[in-house]
Structures are given as C-alpha cells and as structure tokens.
Amino acid sequence: MEYSTDLLNALVLVSNYVLIPALSYGSQLALGAVGVTLVFGILRFANFAHGEMMSFGCMVAIFTTWWFQSMGISSGIFPTAILALPFAILITGLLAVAIDRSVFSFYRKRRSRPVTFVVASVGVMFMLNGLVRILIGTDEIIFRDGQKFLIKAGAFKKMTGLSEGLALKQTQVLTFVLAVISVLVLFWFLRRTRTGKAMRAFSDNEDLSLLSGINPERVVLVTWIIAASLATLAGVLYGLDKSFKPMVFFHMLLPIFAAAIVGGIGQPLGAILGGYVVAFSEITATYAFKKFIKYLAPGDFVPDGLVQFLTTEYKFAVSFLILVLVLLVRPTGILRGKVL
C-alpha cells in the first residue's frame, strides 16, 4: 500500500515538474518551428528574424489587450490576450508581407544564394528587435488577467491525499489546445486546399510547379502569412505562460531551429515532433531527480546530490547537443526532410 502511494507521488511529481511544463513549452517551440520550417521549405533559407516576429506579435497582442482592458472588454475566465490574438495575427501578417515585399522579394527575383537571404534576415532581425524595444521598452510584462490555475497544488493535495501537489495553469492547457487546433488546421490546409497543395508542390520541385501554372508570388505570400500567424500564436502563448521580455525571443531561436532540424527541416510534422523532443529533453536534463528517486527507491534511500544532469543555466546546451547528435547521426532529421 505504502509503496503504491509512493509510486503515485513520484508520478505526480514528474507530471508537475516535467510533463506539464514540457508539453506547454514543447507546443510553443513546435509552433515556432513549424513557421521556420515552412519558410525554409518554400523560400529555402533559415529565417533568423523568426524569433523577433514572435516578439513583435506578442507585443501587438499586449497593446491590443491594454486597449481592450481600457474599454472594459474582457473574456471572463480566459485572458484578454486571446481576444487580442486575431488583431495581433493580422498586424504581424501584414508586417511579414511588407518585409517580404521590401526585402526578400528582391533577392528572390535575382535568385540569390540562400546565404544572402540569411544575411538579409539578420538585418530584418535587427530592425524588428529595435522596433519592439522602442515601442514597448525593455521591461518585463506579465499578462495578469483571466483565471490563473485550473488545479491548484494545495487543492490537489487535499483532493487526493498525496503529499505531492499538482498545479495546472490555465495557460498551459490553453497553449496545448490552441497548438493542437492550429496544427490540425494547418495540416487540413496543406493537404486539402488548392493553395496548400500548391505550396507542397512548390516546396517539392520549384521548376515543375512553376511549369504547371502555380503562381509563386501567391505561394510565398501565403507562406509568410501562415508563418507570421504561427509565430504570433507561439509568441503570445509563451508570453501568457511565462512573461514578455524583448530579449527572450532571440534566445528561443536556437531551440526552435534545433526543433526544426531535428524533425527534418521542411517537414511540418517533423517540426512538431522536434519541438516536443527538444522541450522534453531540455526539461528532463535540467530537472533534479532527487525527490523522484527518494519515492521510488526501496527503504529510506536518499541520493546525495540533486541527481541533476545539467544545471538549469545550460538549457541551451541541451537543445544544441540534440542538434549536434542528429546532425552527426542522421543529418536529414527524424523524418527525412526537404518536402512539405
């Protein structure tokens, strides 16, 4: 009997500190990585400005939220930012299209090398970063409305009588649900609609798709709009889950790229897979398993150290290590990449 409660306690512990955070963080990464992978599949370059696009989208959502709040509009138990999402997506999408028209389309016409696009995207990254900082400043901003917890740690303990609590934030559920919905919509779009099929064809073989009368500019336009929408969604969800800081999104660039490459770049399904792989390994490797082992081990055995593979400061290192491993062992990624 006692051992089985210990087992339950250990399970709850892991879900609370590893499973749930990793699921929501993984969803955010996956959304970002799908955007990166789409841009890569269609435009064939790694977009360094993607993180800043997330940050821009989140910023617009914050402004809209403030505006709504000043008018007294709110969405009850949900955070107001959910209402602000459509506006943020609209504006970020417009921005992405404007950037493409003013910066990237020129190189596309000239058929420049991919690396030129990458350098241009670094320029865009600088500009967006500056823009976000100028518009909203560099302070940390936390969304503070809506119901915070679905399950509180204390209530859970009372309910189940276990000694470990389980806290479930509303934003975590929201993140996961919204991510699943948007991914399903995306796949429906890519598989079933004419434009989606055109995008897949274009990504598979540019010349052949051009011969069969696909309008490349339209494909590129749609790609940017989708990428910007996903980036906004990911940015807002990250902001809701944690907080908004202009610098955070630059640092998310590495895990996002890692997720896209690990899954097989150019493969949306792979990007989602990669997002969860990166998130789970990041959180597992930096979690201290001391208590977990204490529950599972027979008797009163308690490990000496924290039983933590890496300290939390080395989160980056985890995504990077996975990246290196995949590049060494299977350079094409888990799902052999290159086609949508």
Partner 1 sequence: MALLLMIVGFGQSWNVALAIFNLCLISAVMSMGLNMQWGYAGLFNAGVMASTAIGGLTAILVSYEPVAKAWSAGGSSLTVALVFLLLTIIAGVLVWKKIPKGGKRSWSMTAVVLIGYLFMRFFFDQATSAIEAVEPAKTGFLGGLGLPIIFSWLAGGLAAAGLAWLIGRISLGLRSDYFAIATLGISEIMISILKNEDWLSRGVKNVTGLKRPVPYEVDLQQSEWFIKLVSWFYGTAEDGSAVSADVLREAMQLSAGVFVKLCYSALFLAVVLIILGLATRALNSPWGRMMRAIRDNETAASAMGKDVTSRHRQVFVIGSAVIGISGAMLTTLHGQFTPGSYIPLRFTFLIWVMVIIGGSGNNLGSIIGAFITWFVWIEAEPTSLWLVGHINELLAETNPLRHHLMEVAPHMRMILMGLILVMVLRFSPKGILPEEAPEHY
Q: Is 70 in the site for partner 1 (CB under 8 A)?
A: no
**Binding residues with partner 1: total (CB under 8 A):** 47
User: By CB under 8 A, which span of 64-72, 170-178, 294-302, 320-328 interacts with partner 1?
Assistant: 320-328
Q: Is 40 in the site for partner 1 (CB under 8 A)?
A: yes
Q: Is 1 in the site for partner 1 (CB under 8 A)?
A: no
Please tell me the distance from the alpha carbon of residue 82 to that of residue 77, in angstroms, as a whole number. 11
CA distances from 208 to 65, 195, 214, 215, 305 (A): 45, 16, 9, 12, 60
- Provide DSSP, 227-283: HHHHHHHHHHHHHHHS-B-TTHHHHHHHHHHHHHHHH-TT-HHHHHHHHHHHHHHHH
Among 9, 10, 25, 45, binds partner 1 (CB under 8 A): 45
Among 7, 73, 94, 122, binds partner 1 (CB under 8 A): 122
**CB of 51 closer than 8 Å to CB of 45:** no
Among 3, 67, 188, 316, binds partner 1 (CB under 8 A): 316
Q: Is 67 in the site for partner 1 (CB under 8 A)?
A: no
Question: Which pair of tokens denotes residue 121?
Answer: 């995207």
Among 199, 278, 323, 340, binds partner 1 (CB under 8 A): 323
- Length of the chain in terms of residues written: 340
Among 130, 163, 180, 191, binds partner 1 (CB under 8 A): 130
Among 67, 98, 123, 181, binds partner 1 (CB under 8 A): 123
Q: How far is the CB of 113 from partner 1 (least distance, A)?
A: 8
Among 124, 201, 230, 234, binds partner 1 (CB under 8 A): 124
Site track 74-113 with partner 1 (rule: CB under 8 A), x = hit: -----------------------------x--x-------
Q: What totals of helices (H) and strands (E) does the chain contain, helices first?
A: 15, 2
Q: Is 288 in the site for partner 1 (CB under 8 A)?
A: no
Give SS3 for 151.
strand
Q: How far is the CB of 212 from partner 1 (least distance, A)?
A: 27
**CB of 28 closer than 8 Å to CB of 272:** no
Q: Which is nearer to partner 1, 112 or 195 (CB)?
A: 112
Q: How far is the CB of 298 from partner 1 (least distance, A)?
A: 21
Q: Is 254 in the site for partner 1 (CB under 8 A)?
A: yes
Q: How far is the CB of 48 from partner 1 (least distance, A)?
A: 8
Among 150, 314, 334, 339, binds partner 1 (CB under 8 A): 314
Give SS3 for 284.
helix
Cβ-based neighbour number of residue 188 at 10 Å: 11
Cβ-based neighbour number of residue 288 at 10 Å: 16
How many degrees, rounded to 5, is the angle at CA 232 between CA 229 and CA 334?
75
Q: Is 292 in the site for partner 1 (CB under 8 A)?
A: no
Q: Is 331 in the site for partner 1 (CB under 8 A)?
A: yes
Element (DSSP H or E) covering residue 168: strand 168-169
Q: Is 119 in the site for partner 1 (CB under 8 A)?
A: yes
Give SS3 for 150.
strand
Q: Is 320 in the site for partner 1 (CB under 8 A)?
A: yes
Question: Which pair of tokens denotes residue 294?
Answer: 């204490």
Distance of CA 120 to the CA centre of its chain: 23
Please tell me the distance from the alpha carbon of residue 269 to that of residue 242, in angstroms, as a whole number. 26
- List contacts with partner 1 (CB under 8 A): 40, 45-46, 48, 103, 106, 114-116, 118-120, 122-131, 133-135, 137-138, 250-251, 253-254, 257-258, 261, 305, 311, 313-314, 316-317, 319-320, 323-324, 327-328, 331
